[in-house]
Amino acid sequence: KMALALERSVAFSAVRLACRIAERVRETEVTALAKTDASPVTAADFAVQAIVNNVLRKSFPHDAMVSEESSDQLRGNTPESASMRSKILGFLQQVDPAATDSDIDAALDFGKFPEGTVPSRFWTLDPIDGTKGFLRNDQYAIALALVQDGKVVLGLLGCPCLSQKLGTDSPRGSIFIAQHGAGCAMVGVDGSLDTAAPVRVSPGADPTQAVVLESVEAGHTAHDVSSVVLKTLGVAVPSVRMDSQAKYAALARGDGSMYLRLPRPGKRYEENIWDHAAGLLAVEEAGGKVTDVYGKPLDFSLGPKLTANTGVVATNGLVHDAAVAAVQAALQAATSH
């Protein structure tokens, strides 16, 4: 019997349900609550987190969870918060007809643990990774991962808008399931776990031919530094721009061979674990490599942030050393100006 078999199947059904509801939210209404860090948060963020956590807490009531949203944002007797709660409940009831208003808080706050402590086993979720992509009917991801003893052991990426083969009109919607030591597989959003097919990173070892996956949003990576990196490597093919951890998914199945998330020179930015945990495992289990800009493995044992790491370099493995060297040179040049 496979290790984590229950976790794998429960997580898969949670992500598959969430993909369906996220698309439904997007079709019916896209309203953004102003969030403190100015990223648009939609009813979808809350609905997806409520749905995923609601599924997880039934099978794993004692597990810990690190997720992006909290029910604090829905407290207070404002008309906005009341209307948002009733929307969330409506979506939750589409998958769990018996759900009540109090289930919203229980689900959103599932697995909360005291700040400053790190459980040896916890889930981490980004309900809608790439909110701006979601808002403009483009790429976004539902990213769920399980971390044990500081290592990501299970990672799922639900990508409702990622066609099953890039650049074709094949059906939209793919779910990636990666498990430590067991590979990475992909299945359509309507598929089942046992029909998922293994994916592998691209076989290209020549950095000049590397298809680079980049963020659409300028705020997410230092584009000027990354253009220096691509020049240094002599990359001669156009980049592919897409939002969210869909980039990790695309890398895992060979649509590109490099994804850089670089710090802005002179700025300290710590990555959130939920932005990388599932994507990292998908790429590693598909045969690729993920490190920070210094070539160090990402350390998930420190809490909600990757405090021991700077930036992220993800590749098909074959161009990794060249990419890390070029990134370091470009960052040094940028900080010495």
The residue annotated as part of the active site, out of 42, 45, 221, 292, is 45
Give the active site residue among 42, 131, 221, 310: 131
Strands (E), the chain: 32-33, 41-42, 64-67, 121-129, 141-148, 151-163, 172-179, 183-188, 197-198, 212-214, 240-241, 258-261, 289-291, 312-315
CA distances from 294 to 8, 30, 141 (A): 32, 39, 27
Residues 310 and 298: their CA atoms lie apart, in Å, by 9
Amino acid occupying residue 297? P
Please give the full DSSP string across 270-321, using - where no structure is assigned.
PPBGGGTHHHHHHHHHTT-EEE-TTSPPP--SSSSB-TT--SEEEE-STTHH
The separation between CA 335 and the C-alpha centre of its own chain, rounded to angstroms, equals 29
What whole-number distance in Å separates Cα of residue 208 and Cα of residue 319? Answer: 10
Annotation marks residue 208 as catalytic: no
Which residues on adjacent β-strands are paired with residue 185? 177, 198
Residue 45 annotated as catalytic: yes
In this structure, what DSSP letter does residue 211 have? P
Strand partners, 147: 122, 152
CA–CA separation, 60 and 124 (whole Å)? 14
Those residues whose C-beta lies under 8 Å from the C-beta of residue 202, and which sit 6 or more positions away, are: 211, 254, 255, 256, 257, 316
Residues with catalytic function: 45, 131
